[in-house]
Structure 1
Amino acid sequence: MLNCRACLWRCIQALDAPTANAHRLRRDVNPIFLPSQQRLLSTTRDVVRKIEARPANLAEVERLQRRGEEPWQRSAVAANQKKQERAALRAPPYSQAVHETPNLENLGRRDPTISERDWQNRKRELRHLQDPLELATFVKKELGKDRATEMLQLVRMASHSMECIVSWNHIIDHYLANERVNDALKVYNEMKKRAQFPDSYTYTILLRGLSINAHHSGVLSKALSVYHSLSAPNSRVEASIIHTNATLKVCARAQDMDALWGVAGKIPENGPQAANMITYITIINAIRQNLLLARPKGETEDEAAARIERGIMVGRQMWEDIVARWRSADLVIDEELVCAMGRLLLIGSRPRDWDDVLSLVEQTMDIPRLVPRLGTAARKEAGSPRVRATNTPPQYRSDDDHLTPDQAAMRGDEFLALTPHGVGRAVSNPLAYARPGNNTLSVVQEACQKIVANKAAREYWELLTDPTTYNIAPDVNNLHMRLRNLRLDRASGAAVTLLQDDMLAKGIVPKPGTFRIAMSTCVRDKNNHNSLRNASQILQVMLKTLEDADAKVVGMFAELAMTFPLARGTDLVDALTVLTPIVRSIRLQLGVGGERNFKYEVGATYLRGDERQDAIGALRKVYSVYDRLLFSNMLPEEQKPPFQAERARLSAFIQRVVFKDQGRRYRDHQDRVKAQARGEEETNDDVDLHSYLKDGGGDEGMVDGRHEGVRQGERRDRRASWTVHRTKPGGKKNWGQNLDARGLA
């Protein structure tokens, strides 16, 4: 009857209304309600009478319950239960409290190599990194804060529940960028053990990272091992041309051509794994580097020329394949590839190799040749100077193979300009020419310098830098190559114009080497009556640009003034006038100069080593200019005393500096002898100066210089004591300072 909820509900509703049958229902044999359910009818009089008849003690307990003063509420047990209740209310639902987040369910026990604190910190971080992308982003961000150890712990823990290959890649890349090659390889092997299989990006990061660490020992063998593992039958990743290029770069930087050709020999001719532009650039640069650096010991000039000739022929054969693929639109050629081949030709043994650079530029960039090819009739008709090639063996100076009866192809035909396939405007495969830049400008200028094409060098410069054509803004290297061509052409005036208009006017800061090339142009152009004046302008520009005068430039200027065939007395006086402040600066650098650590960066840098020797040599050349002026009839006798005084001061300073440097070397030699003899019972602390000079430790003139230095020291002591006794009262200048001002001291 009461099995239905509706029936039970109707029965309960019936109890709400007062009925006379309720008394009968409770006393029925088969009651509707159970004894425990009869409490619903406790509002009847019988129940009320029972409550009124309760004992007094139960009424007191009920009163305590109603007031909330029962002992239970004041007990520690109730307080503990209340605390647990609040904790249960704050805790997450039952399903979340029992089970961790999905990426922490299969975490397992703590790694004993990780401390408990780090373990808990990594768990808290990992609880909020549910997605591999979020994990990789977080790892990369923290690696920038140099938290490689913590991120490696985090990625290890995350590997239990998700694929986090990208995070492993970030760690490998971080280690390789910080030259930790062994640690990167350990991480690479560990990720495979943790079922995080490397992808194509992993091998790319690893091989590129090994290429930037090729200076470490054993990197080449490790790179080859990783690269060859891609060809294994069980490899999940197929080697791409990107992996091949990175491996080739490692081989090239390690200067192992055998390994390079071994990798290059496996490159297919067609398909996605075929060689691209970067592949050819890497191989051509490796050939050039090997020809320049890997010279066998005891190799003669003829053997070196033959070895370079073989390397050039390999590059020429490779270029034929490059042009064939470029013509069929399977390869893109850019400036870097063209200049790599051009610089390989520039180190060749034949003038033909140098001349082919201009044909190469015409073929790939559609820039016409401005000078006819070597060995052609047009070259002779143009009146171009003959290429001497003094450093080239005689058998490589001319190319006459094309004049043989078999009419062999002329050397350099692989660089001839191409004609697109088709007739008229119907071209099937139009060629995509490379655009020239600063690298091309330097290569062309160097090629013109080698083939002695000064006029063509100027025309190429104007063509490539013209805003209406290619609009190339020359950089410092371009300007240096242009200055070398001007030096070859003995154009000192053009060098000054280039220095002022193309560098200073355009905000390009010249370097010391810039002034050396420009000054050497004036030295080469010494037969020009304006060369000394041009050299003076270059020196003035250097003083305004550089913080300290370059000693080599000063020495070249003094040499020009000393050997200038058209020099007059006024020219030498003007040259010495320009040199006077520079000599003072060099004296400061040799004497009391220090590091530029002043507040306003004022002061002269103290010279050491080769720079010090260059400065002393420059002062000696300036001293020679004084000699030429004084021991000739260029200057009247009444005008010579000031120059004689300056010459005497300069001579004294040079002797003093040389003596100090020799004494310093002598003391260093004495200290080394003492250090070698240290520990023995008897040591000779006093090293004989004459025996030191005899062993090659100094100059023979050092003995005389030593005695001269002693005499100078005695004179300084006498002058100091005489100055003290001769000081006038009242704070006036002493007589010793007056002597110094007159140059008599």
Structure 2
Amino acid sequence: MLNCRACLWRCIQALGVPNTSAHGLRRSVNPLLRHGQQRLLNTRDVYPAADERSMGRKEGGRFLRSGEDHWKKSAFAANLKKRERTALRETPIRSTTIETPNLARLGRRDPQVSDSDWNRRKRELRHLQDPLELATFVRKELDKGKDEEMLQLVRMASHSMQCVVSWNYIIDHYLAKERVNDALKVYNDMKKRAQFPDSYTYTILLRGLSINAHTSGVVSKALSVYHSLSAPNSRVAPSIIHTNAALRVCARAMDMDALWGIAGKIPENGPGAANVITYITIINAMRQTLLLNGPKGETDDEAAARKERGIMEGRRMWEDIVGRWRSADLVIDEELVCAMGRLLLIGSRPRDWDDVLSLVEQTMDIPRLVPRLGSSGRYDAGLQRLRAPNVPRQYRVDDDHLSPDKTSMRGDEFLALTPQGVGSAVSNPLSYARPGNNTLSVIQEACQKIVANKASEGYWHLLTDPTTYNIVPDLNNLNMRLRNLRQNRASGAAVQLLQQDMLDKGITPRPGTFRIAMSTCVRDKNNHNSLKHAGQILNIMTQIMEDADPKAVTMYAELALSFPLAKGSDLVDSLTILNPITKNIRIQLGVGGQEYSRGTGPAYLKGESRQDAIAALRKIHGVYDKLLFSNLIAEEQKAPFKAERARLSSFIQRVMFKGGDSFDLPKHEESGPVEEVDLHGYLQDERGAEGTAGEGKAELYEQDDQRPAWRKQWARPMERVKPPGERRRNWAPSLDARGSPRDM
């Protein structure tokens, strides 16, 4: 009975023995219990307390249980700890489906992509989860020239996300690199991969095709892309932005038939109606076609008739523009006004040129400063009749715009608009355009064509006045102003314009600017100060430019030769100014000059530039001849000029007759630097040592041999130096009378 632990426990509970006698009961029943049943009688005092168990001992110092954790020292725990450390050191393997959803549907590798490139694109794509991040990354890498890598990346990303922006970046990159066929291939590949082009895709494509309009077949490709927008299955509706881009392609390719085909389908109202950019594109295309796209072998009368038809088309278009402007459907800006003005300036009639000022008055509210051609106010103002020698005779009459009943038939398109309404209810919704630098150039050119010099000056002061429009003139405006001054023969005003409006304001003139200013002095040669003004222009040119402009120097030398009031002192002053310029031109011919257009450093003059430099030296040589072969100065004062003339003549002959590729320096240049010649020595009563030495050299040259140096050089027998290793060709031994070879 007592062998069962449960029965023994129930017996003990039935006795009702208190806990304090538990130890005595255990001693009494100890012989009857086995060792495994003693734990049923343990009370709280049997096992150590929690703090004692941690120490592994009891109050009496007897160890009942070890305080060490044997599981921690087991092999299983050590193996588990090792696996944990290994797992922490290793890179966690991400779940492709959860962490990188853009890699879930890549499929098998493209056979055109190598394994290494495929793995690199996968690693890049793992960190590009968003289409915006992908587009930003693609744009930065395309700037580095990685177009093929980015195309692979975008193709892989197209399996899991819509990345149209990235495709647009690639198309734009190819078009910027003039790779039109590659861009169209990417565009077609984009559609095959279910990446549907958006509105920006078509805009980028058409704009890029307009940039590459010089390549063949671009117009047909642009038209196919543009017409695909109007297809029934097109996801993008065509807008005026796409229309303007397509018109730009046709305009730059000068295909007017295709341009009018697109322009004829533009609606009159609605969001697809023509805007300012549309009209600017069409007008500029008409102007370029009239100037550059004429048929071969066209006569002047045929060209004038063709321009007349183009101007009439532009006038009819302007009527439509003004109608929409008055109804507040269109806002006119400066670019549109100047585009129409430049179209009128290439017209065949003086009336077209005069209407430019009416156009400015109509659209910018700037009053005309000169009466219209053919009007009574022009004759009352005492202005002379306009002469147009380069215009065919049938287009010269300025009042042929009047009909038989004396009513105007031509030019009403540009009349100033009157406000609509009656009394206090007048409303003028017109928003006038603000003039700028482009307007200033157009007005100056129109005044030049109609020979309105006072009006040109009035418009200049009106538009540049800080209290009115405050236009700061640029280099193009200043060049046009110089052309008006040239027409008015105002050489002094040209010098003042160069000094005050250019140099003082930090504007650097170009070689063409000095040519216009110098031609003003040439045209004003009857003025006794014109030669002095031309010298001032040359001094400004030498201060600004590193190398002198040969054409400007040639015009100055021609002015010195043809100056009717020239004295000996004037020619000496001219040669004094030309002396350092002559050395500069010789350096350009011998060593090389600064290439002004590109700024790439010294460049050897070739072609037309070389011929201009030689022509300048020959004109300067002519100035020496005029001074020496005349009685403007005394004979004893001509010695330094003879020496300089001899040096210049020798140099010109070497350059002209030896090609100028490689030539030996003259002896006086080999020995050392040439001393400066005092060209003003004739003013001294007593000649110095330098003047005597120069005269002695000239006399010695004349007494030694009257022939010039180039004739002496060409009179020498030419010796052919056979290069080493060259074999004698076409050689046959001489035969004696018996037919045997004879020793040479």
- The TM-score bracket by the shorter chain reads 0.7 to 0.9
Give runs of aligned pairs for residues 141-290 of structure 1, distance below 5 A. 141-290=140-289
RMSD, aligned α-carbons: 3.2
Number of the residue aligned with 2:648: 650
Change in 2 beyond 3 A, CA 1:82/1:590: same
Q: What code does the residue aligned with 1:637 have?
A: E
Number of the residue aligned with 1:611: 609
Shift of 1:393: 0.8
Is contact 1:385-1:453 (8 Å) kept?
no
Q: Deviations over 1:85-141 (max 9, x none)?
A: 555567899994775522222222222222222222222222222222222222222
Is contact 2:341-2:356 (8 Å) kept?
yes
- Counterpart check, 1:394 vs 2:393: yes
Q: Deviations over 1:318-367 (max 9, x none)?
A: 00000000111101111100000000000000000000000000000000
Taking structure 1 as the reference length, what is the TM-score of the superposition?
0.78
Q: What code does the residue aligned with 2:168 have?
A: N
**For structure 1, which runs of at least 5 residues remain unmatched after alignment?**
1-16, 25-42, 50-64, 666-703, 715-745
Q: 1: distance between equivalents of 2:386 and 2:542?
A: 38
- Counterpart check, 1:366 vs 2:355: no
Structure showing greater Rg: 2
Shift of 1:258: 0.4
- Counterpart check, 1:709 vs 2:713: yes
Q: What code does the residue aligned with 2:350 have?
A: P
**For structure 2, which runs of at least 5 residues remain unmatched after alignment?**
1-5, 14-32, 40-68, 664-707, 719-744
Give runs of aligned pairs for residues 464-543 of structure 1, distance below 5 A. 464-543=463-542
- Counterpart check, 1:634 vs 2:632: yes
Three-state SS of the structure 1 residue aligned to 2:111 is coil
Q: Which moved more, 1:612-621 or 1:404-413?
A: 404-413
Is contact 2:590-2:660 (8 Å) kept?
no
Q: 2: distance between equivalents of 1:232 and 1:630?
A: 83
Number of the residue aligned with 1:46: 36
Q: 2: distance between equivalents of 1:593 and 1:275?
A: 53
Q: 2: distance between equivalents of 1:295 and 1:618?
A: 36
Q: 2: distance between equivalents of 1:443 and 1:390?
A: 22
| Equivalent residue pairs, number | 621
Three-state SS of the structure 1 residue aligned to 2:473 is coil
Q: 1: distance between equivalents of 2:505 and 2:446?
A: 26
Is contact 2:654-2:710 (8 Å) kept?
no
Q: 2: distance between equivalents of 1:222 and 1:320?
A: 33
Q: 2: distance between equivalents of 1:470 and 1:710?
A: 67
Q: Deviations over 1:616-648 (max 9, x none)?
A: 111111111112112222111221222122222
Three-state SS of the structure 2 residue aligned to 1:518 is helix
Q: Deviations over 1:713-738 (max 9, x none)?
A: 99xxxxxxxxxxxxxxxxxxxxxxxx
Is contact 2:402-2:408 (8 Å) kept?
no
Q: Which moved more, 1:298-307 or 1:105-114?
A: 105-114
Q: What code does the residue aligned with 1:20 have?
A: W
Q: Deviations over 1:669-694 (max 9, x none)?
A: xxxxxxxxxxxxxxxxxxxxxxxxxx
Q: What code does the residue aligned with 1:235 have?
A: S
Give runs of aligned pairs for residues 261-410 of structure 1, distance below 5 A. 261-401=260-400, 403-410=402-409
Q: Deviations over 1:213-270 (max 9, x none)?
A: 1112211111111000001111111110000000000001111110000111110011
Three-state SS of the structure 2 residue aligned to 1:422 is coil
Q: 2: distance between equivalents of 1:18 and 1:660?
A: 140
Q: What code does the residue aligned with 1:657 have?
A: V
Q: Deviations over 1:640-664 (max 9, x none)?
A: 2221222222211111211111898
Change in 2 beyond 3 A, CA 1:410/1:99: closer
Is contact 1:590-1:607 (8 Å) kept?
yes
Q: 1: distance between equivalents of 2:467 and 2:8?
A: 115
Is contact 1:593-1:603 (8 Å) kept?
no
Three-state SS of the structure 2 residue aligned to 1:433 is coil
Q: 2: distance between equivalents of 1:622 and 1:564?
A: 14
Is contact 1:594-1:606 (8 Å) kept?
yes
Is contact 1:656-1:709 (8 Å) kept?
no
Number of the residue aligned with 1:20: 9
Q: Deviations over 1:686-706 (max 9, x none)?
A: xxxxxxxxxxxxxxxxxx998
Change in 2 beyond 3 A, CA 1:201/1:568: same
Shift of 1:402: 5.0
Q: What code does the residue aligned with 1:644 have?
A: K
Number of the residue aligned with 1:624: 622
Q: 1: distance between equivalents of 2:461 and 2:398?
A: 31
Three-state SS of the structure 2 residue aligned to 1:434 is coil
Q: What code does the residue aligned with 2:429 have?
A: P
Number of the residue aligned with 1:124: 123
Taking structure 2 as the reference length, what is the TM-score of the superposition?
0.78
Number of the residue aligned with 2:417: 418
Is contact 1:438-1:474 (8 Å) kept?
yes
Number of the residue aligned with 1:661: 659
Number of the residue aligned with 1:454: 453
Three-state SS of the structure 2 residue aligned to 1:20 is helix
